[in-house]
Amino acid sequence: MILSDRDIKSRLKNDLIIKPLNLEEQLGPSSIDLRLDDEFLTFKLSDHSLIDPKDYKDKEIFRRETKNTIIIENVYTRKFIMKKSFIIHPGEFVLASIIEYVEIPHNLVGVVEGRSSIGRLGIMIHVTAGYIDPGFCGKITLEIANVGKIPVKLYPKMRICQLVLHNLSSYCDIPYHKKKRSKYQNQKGSQHSKISEDFE
């Protein structure tokens, strides 16, 4: 069962945490709008012809700062911390984050969906991982792709997606934060893949 606005407000007073949150601007009839943070992680295609999930470890090499941007060079990716906006080009894929810190109770599951207004510009906000487990704590990483034919400018603080909350049939036995391999627990900012940990 999907939570209504009334149910969401009730859970926010108890065990659901989403902050900072402006209910008047962000609460819909059955979802909560989440806002885009200022970090964008792109792949450096010219440096690598292949990604091997077994060996994928993305470590920082160096950083530099310009007037409106901090650029962090990693092994596979380049992170941009933007003060104004970020342009995503047709066919481009970036990882981004939301402003809000989220804690999902043990008897709820979250599903991240795109907003219609963003989708009509050709922007997908998650490629495959829109599911937020019970017990997850942290900032949600978005897998943004431009499937349109025109570049689109994205702004920090814009409402980029919506979180839909579903009741579980009962409390789960092992919430995400108690799993042995909860590798994205307490993540902050746009988080790169940790898939290599699956092979350890």
pLDDT tens across 9-48, in order?
A: 999 999 999 999 999 999 999 999 999 999 898 887 766 6
Backbone dihedral angles phi then psi of residue 182, each to the nearest 5 degrees? -85, 70
pLDDT at 179: 67
Report CA Rg, the chain: 17
pLDDT at 89: 95
Bond preceding residue 90 cis, omega within 30 of 0: no
By C-alpha distance, which of 39, 43, 185, 4 is closest to 104?
185
Residue by residue, DSSP assigns 94-131 as: EEEEESSEEE--TTEEEEEEE-HHHHTTTEES-SS--E
CATH number given to 5-37+96-191: 2.70.40.10
pLDDT at 189: 67
Amino acid (one-letter) located at 144: I
pLDDT band at 194 (very low <50, low <70, confident <90, very high): low
Question: Do 175 and 134 contact (CB within 8 A), yes or no?
Answer: yes
- How many Å apart are CA 160 and CA 116, to the nearest integer? 10
Whether 143 is catalytic:
yes
14: helix, coil or strand? coil
- How many Å apart are CA 10 and CA 29, to the nearest integer? 14
pLDDT tens sequence across 104-162: 999 999 999 999 999 999 999 988 878 899 999 899 999 999 999 999 999 999 999 99
The burial class, CB within 10 Å (0-12 / 13-18 / 19+), for 4 is middle
pLDDT at 31: 97
b/e per residue 68-104 (b: at least 16 CB within 10 A): eeeebebebbbbbbbeeebebeeebebbbbbbbbbeb
Catalytic residue among 65, 143, 197, 200, which?
Answer: 143
Residue by residue, DSSP assigns 25-56 as: HHB-SS-EEEEEEEEEEEE-TTT-S---TTT-
Q: What is the pTM of this model?
A: 0.83
Residue 184 has pLDDT above 70, yes or no: no
Per-domain boundaries in the chain:
5-37+96-191
